[in-house]
Structure 1
Amino acid sequence: MVNFTTYTIDTAPKDSKPILEAAKKKLGFVPNLMATMAESPVMVEGYLTLMGLFDKSRLSATERELVLMTNSRLNGCTYCMAAHTAVCKKAGVDEDVINSLRSGTPINDPKLEALRKFCIIINKKRGWATEEEVEEFLAAGYTKETVLEVIVGTSLKVLSNYSTHNLNVSLDEAFLPMAWSEDMDKSC
């Protein structure tokens, strides 16, 4: 496997340094994923920019994490599952919801479950939801805007999940207690 460098702010390519500094300011540290993405200033800036835009969506913090974790689980991203479990815990997401997202099992809340199911449809069908599937999602209380925001969140996970798959990113110490593997989910 090709080894990619996990940069620090000091060792990163010149155009990545301010992006890593912004990540540190926002998150309190530079996650290994972004430190490795720094190989390409375009990639790390694109990822942070899209993350910032997704945070501005009308989805609640729980709903945003649901979109991100559902996609990460479906894409088999061990790094992102651990990282987003930590984010969920910090944001106060209900433990039952976190457990459902980690295991791929239904969520007791019908509206959140509708969102989880729609995320699965968008991911597995590569965006080709049927008219009936979109209508069912809208009937659960979501909007046309939400349909598009799910696609934004899915796109964000393509950037990070596909990067971790190819960059051999090691799990940050802060995320180790939330480690996850596909073996934890036999339904994927």
Structure 2
Amino acid sequence: MTDFTVHTIETAGESKPLLEKSKKTYGFVPNLHAVMAESPALLEAYRTVAEIFDTKTELSHTERQIIAMTNNRLNGCTYCMAAHTTIMQGLKVPEDVIESLRDGTPIADPKLEALRVFAETVNVKRGWVEDSEIEALLEAGYTKQTVLDVIVGTAFKVLSNYTNHVAETPLDKPFAKNEWSAEAQPSS
């Protein structure tokens, strides 16, 4: 396996200002960001798409996390599953929603479940969704903007999930309590 450096602020070169922002935001530099620092373009793209997803969509914290976690699970990203579980706990996302997202099982709330199903469909079908699948999301109370915002969330997670696969990013201590393994999940 090719070893990727888990950079510090001091070793990050052009990525130093971005890692300083990460430290200010999280209180530490997440290993994902430290690995991404090898490519200033990747780290900037990731941070930019994350900010856009968080501030330019009309989705709630819970809805954005549904999109993120659905992609994390389908892409088998153990790092992001643990990290986003911790994030959701901090955001006070209901525990039953967190459990459903970690297990890939239906969410009890029908509107949130429609979003989970649509996010899953976009990922699995690589965006080649049927009109009926879009209509199901719209009928649940979402909009055409939501359809496209799911794509933003999917792109956001591709950046982190694929980086973690390539670099085998070590899990940060703050996320360790929420470690996740695809092999330990119920079969669907």
Same fold (TM over 0.5): yes
Partner amino acid for 1:82?
A
Shift of 1:184: 2.7
2:163: which partner in 1?
163
Alignment of 1:12-161 (within 5 A): 12-13=12-13, 15-56=14-55, 57-161=57-161
SS in 2 for 1:29: coil
SS in 2 for 1:129: coil
Give the Cα separation in 1 of the matches to 2:125 and 2:96: 27
Percent sequence identity over matched residues?
57
Structure 2 unaligned blocks of 5 or more = none
Give the Cα separation in 1 of the matches to 2:143 and 2:184: 32
Which has the higher mean CA deviation after the structures are superposed, 94-103 or 24-33? 24-33
2:174: which partner in 1?
174
State the Cα deviation string for residues 163-182 of structure 1 (Å, max 9, x = none).
Answer: 00001100000000000000
| Pairs aligned (count) | 187
Shift of 1:25: 1.4
TM-score (norm 2): 0.98
Give the Cα separation in 1 of the matches to 2:80 and 2:174: 13
Shift of 1:185: 2.0
Shift of 1:94: 0.2
Say what the alpha-carbon RMSD is for the aligned residues.
0.8
Runs of 4+ displaced beyond 3 Å: none
TM-score (norm 1): 0.98
Partner amino acid for 1:54?
F
Contact persistence 1:103–1:184 (CA under 8 A): no
Give the Cα separation in 2 of the matches to 1:173 and 1:26: 17
